Amino acid sequence: MGATVQLLDDTLVDQIAAGEVIERPANLVKELLENAIDAGASSITVSVEDGGRALVRVSDDGIGMSAEDAALCVQRHATSKIATFDDLVTVRTLGFRGEALPSIGAVSRMSITTRRPADVEGTRVLVEGGVVTAISPHGCPPGTTVEVEDLFYNVPARKKFLRARQTETSKIFEVCQKTALIRPQLRLLVFSDGRSARQYLPAKSLAERAYAVFGDVPLEEIRANREGVGLEAVLAPITLARPGPRHLFVYVNQRPIVDRRLARAVAFAYGDRLPPGHYPRGVVSLCLPAEDVDVNAHPQKTEVRFTRAAHLIDLVTRMLAGRLGASPSGEAYWQERLNSQGPSPSPIGHERGSAEEHPRVAEASSEYPIVAPGGLRLIAELRNRYLLCEAHDRLYLLDRACSEQVIRYESLREAAESGPLSPQALLFPDRLELDAGARETLHAHEALLAALGFEWSALGEHAYVIRAIPALVGTTSAREVFVDAMRALRDDVSDPMSAVLGALAHASTTPPGETMDRLRALDIVARLSLDQDAHRRSIITEFALPDQAREGGT
């Protein structure tokens, strides 16, 4: 029997790499914007047609390329930004992998037109499906223009995963906004289907650019520097806080990133003034030594690693808390609280199997005021399973697991009411088959499921592939949560939204670090609405307090 292992051809390798770097037109725009910024551009124009499917054009006034560099830049791992491993661990540019242009060219028809200011003429490179078809002299202004047409024309299976034109266009606008926010001196013009869609004119500061982006909203500017970490933030009032960190833009060394730990640290700095699960609207920009950040952690460069992550999060919380006035006690209050708990408050109980069996009196009863809708206040935690609370003239014994499920439901409901839920893309899409009844349910509630963060597509008459589930659900089986959501829709059609959210709250396997550690016990019971029958199942028992107990007697 002959050998079965073989080397893949270069075109297929590029198409595989493109799947990691370019999932949708917005990723393409992000890569091209980063290249333009690394080239020193002060003005960039982005033009898209049909949500980026038909055309994406990015033009800049950067340093341009020579004919030799233009020919090389479409080859895999060709880059001018790193040369050694030492360069990789201290990356200071946005791009560095040398994958963007060859990945884009592998799944589109791409042209690159470029000229250096000192050159008499420029160069044009044509690439189709990963193959360079022409390199020729070309007249053009200084800078670089990259045109990408017919994205995914040669990988139709991937093209099917693209969403509606409006959705893809919106994703592109989000990428442009993130770029404009952190680069206030940049002139960025965005056109969609031939019409001007966004204009970001040069601004003097991050705050001035934030005012232009967020509109007529009062913003608080914060600048701080501690232990080599610089922080600049522009934050809207807490009255504009929303569930989930979607409107909180976090940057590290001017690189937009997604980091839930940093987002939670920002929210934690507000103390009990910010509702649980809510995040402020605004921008937080961190500047720290390049050697303290590993940017080579994700193909799309949206995630980074820190050499001292816990210390950084602690610093961010301290710097913000000192300016936000989260407590009348000021810095001393936060110093004591952070030293004992860190930016993720202590859990109300330990993980299953803990040796602690004795009730633990909760500090929240004296540390926080009563803010619950029924006057609820935590008194003690019992055997890691129950919460003993008081509310005016009654005592309540709450089931901790049911209370946590209520919290998940309420968080999901508030997030859904404020807009579509953010999807969490699956690293490995999940496949399932649906019978006729399930397919009918899916088609009837397609818009609702999409708005709640599900993404899927048909593979055949009965088979479907799930590509994303709601991000707030946490890590769980995509197939199970999808089926549970449709089962809830089938069983309860009177209120489809509540039915699905209830199924999501039940199916969620959000780890303690995302829920119970994130919320102190008082915050949890504060979110329980005792007037709603659906939530009263968390109450194991309740009984009235004697008059003297209500008056503080013994």
Residue 423 gets the label, from left (phi > 0), alpha (psi -120 to 50) or beta, of beta
Mean per-residue pLDDT over the chain, rounded: 77
Is pLDDT of 277 > 70?
Answer: yes
Look at residue 120 in the predicted model and tell me its pLDDT. 94
Three-state DSSP string of 194-242 = CEEEEEECCCCCHHHHHHHHHCCCCCEEEEEEECCEEEEEEECCHHHCE
> CA dihedral in degrees (454, 455, 459, 462; nearest 10)?
20
Of 3.40.50.10070, 3.30.230.10, 3.40.640.10, 3.40.50.2300, which CATH number belongs to 206-341?
3.30.230.10
Under the banding of pLDDT at 50, 70 and 90, the label for residue 163 is confident
Q: Decide if pLDDT at 531 tops 80.
A: no
Mean pLDDT of 346-369: 34
pLDDT for the residue 511:
45
Between 497 and 385, the more confident residue is: 497
Distance separating alpha carbons of residues 91 and 82, to the nearest angstrom: 8
User: For residue 184, what pLDDT is reported?
Assistant: 96
Confidence of residue 374 (pLDDT cuts 50, 70, 90): very low
| pLDDT for 345 beyond 80 | no
- Which pLDDT score, from 0 to 100, does residue 11 have? 58
The CATH number of domain 353-554, selected from 3.40.50.2000, 3.30.1370.100, 3.50.50.60, 3.60.20.40: 3.30.1370.100
Q: CA dist 454 to 354, 439, 548, Å?
A: 36, 15, 54
Task: Classify burial at 134, counting beta carbons within 10 Å of its beta carbon; exposed 0-12, middle 13-18, buried 19 or more.
Answer: exposed
In this predicted structure, what is the pLDDT of residue 206? 95
Q: How far apart are CA 41 and CA 4, in angstroms?
A: 49
Torsion of CA 324, 325, 331, 334, to 10 degrees: -80
- The more confident residue out of 406 and 434 is 434
CATH of domain 10-200: 3.30.565.10
* Euclidean distance between CA atoms 264 and 48, whole angstroms: 35
Average pLDDT, integer, range 302-313: 84
Extract the runs of DSSP E, i.e. beta strands, from 88-214: 109-115, 122-128, 131-138, 143-149, 187-192, 195-200
Q: Which residue has the higher pLDDT, 407 or 17?
A: 407
Each residue's pLDDT tens digit, 94-122 = 655 567 898 899 999 999 999 999 999 99
Domain boundaries, the chain: 10-200, 206-341, 353-554
**pLDDT for 187:** 97
Specify the DSSP element, H or E, that contains 283: strand 282-287
Of residues 497 and 7, the one with the higher pLDDT is: 497
Query: pLDDT by residue (tens digit) across 448-470?
Result: 888 888 888 887 777 888 888 88
Task: Name the DSSP letter for residue 546.
Answer: P
Instruction: Say if 206-341 and 353-554 have the same CATH topology.
Output: no
Which amino acid, one-letter code, is at 453? G
Q: What is the distance between the alpha carbons of residues 261 and 277, in angstroms, rounded to a whole number? A: 13
Spatial CA neighbour of 266 closest among 191, 334, 319: 319
Of 218-222, 331-335, 432-436, highest mean pLDDT: 218-222
Distance CA 479, CA 484 (A): 9
> Across residues 385-389, what is the average pLDDT?
74
**Residue 323 pLDDT:** 83
Pairing between strand 423-433 and 122-128?
unpaired
- CA–CA separation, 48 vs 55, rounded Å? 5
pLDDT at site 94: 63
Lowest mean pLDDT among 15-19, 390-394, 424-428: 15-19
Least confident of 116-130, 155-169, 370-384, 469-483: 370-384
Phi, psi of 548 (to 5 degrees): -65, -30
For residue 4, the one-letter residue type is T
Task: State how far the Cα of 379 lies from the Cα of 364, in Å rounded to an integer.
Answer: 8
Which H or E run contains 3? Answer: none
Q: Are 464 and 458 a contacting pair, CB within 8 Å? A: yes
* 422, containing H or E segment: none
Position 352 confidence tier, pLDDT thresholds 50, 70, 90: very low
Pair of tokens at residue 29:
């725009």
Q: How far is CA 88 from the centre of its chain?
A: 25
d(CA 292, CA 432) in angstroms, rounded, equals: 43
Mean pLDDT of all residues in 139-152: 96
d(CA 317, CA 236): 17
pLDDT at 159: 85
Lowest mean pLDDT among 135-149, 162-176, 407-421: 407-421
> Hey, which of 27-36, 389-398, 434-443 has the most confident mean pLDDT?
27-36
CB 189, CB 198: distance < 8 Å: yes
> 62 is written with which tokens?
């950067």
pLDDT band at residue 132 using 50, 70 and 90 as cut-offs? very high
Report the candidate in 107, 102, 103, 99 with the shortest Cα–Cα distance to residue 150.
Answer: 107
- CA 153 vs CA 22, 47, 156, 207, 263: distances in Å: 13, 19, 6, 42, 38
Q: What is the pLDDT of residue 7?
A: 59
Of residues 507 and 213, more confidence is placed in 213
Strands 43-49 and 187-192, by their bridges, are parallel
Can you give the pLDDT at residue 487? 85
Given this model, what pLDDT does residue 342 score?
40
Most confidently modeled of 34-43, 347-356, 415-424? 34-43
* Per-residue model confidence as pLDDT tens digits over 52-76: 999 999 999 999 999 999 999 888 7
The pLDDT, as a whole number, for residue 364 is 33
3-class DSSP state of 266: helix
For residue range 13-47, list pLDDT tens digits in order. 555 555 456 889 999 999 999 999 999 999 999 99
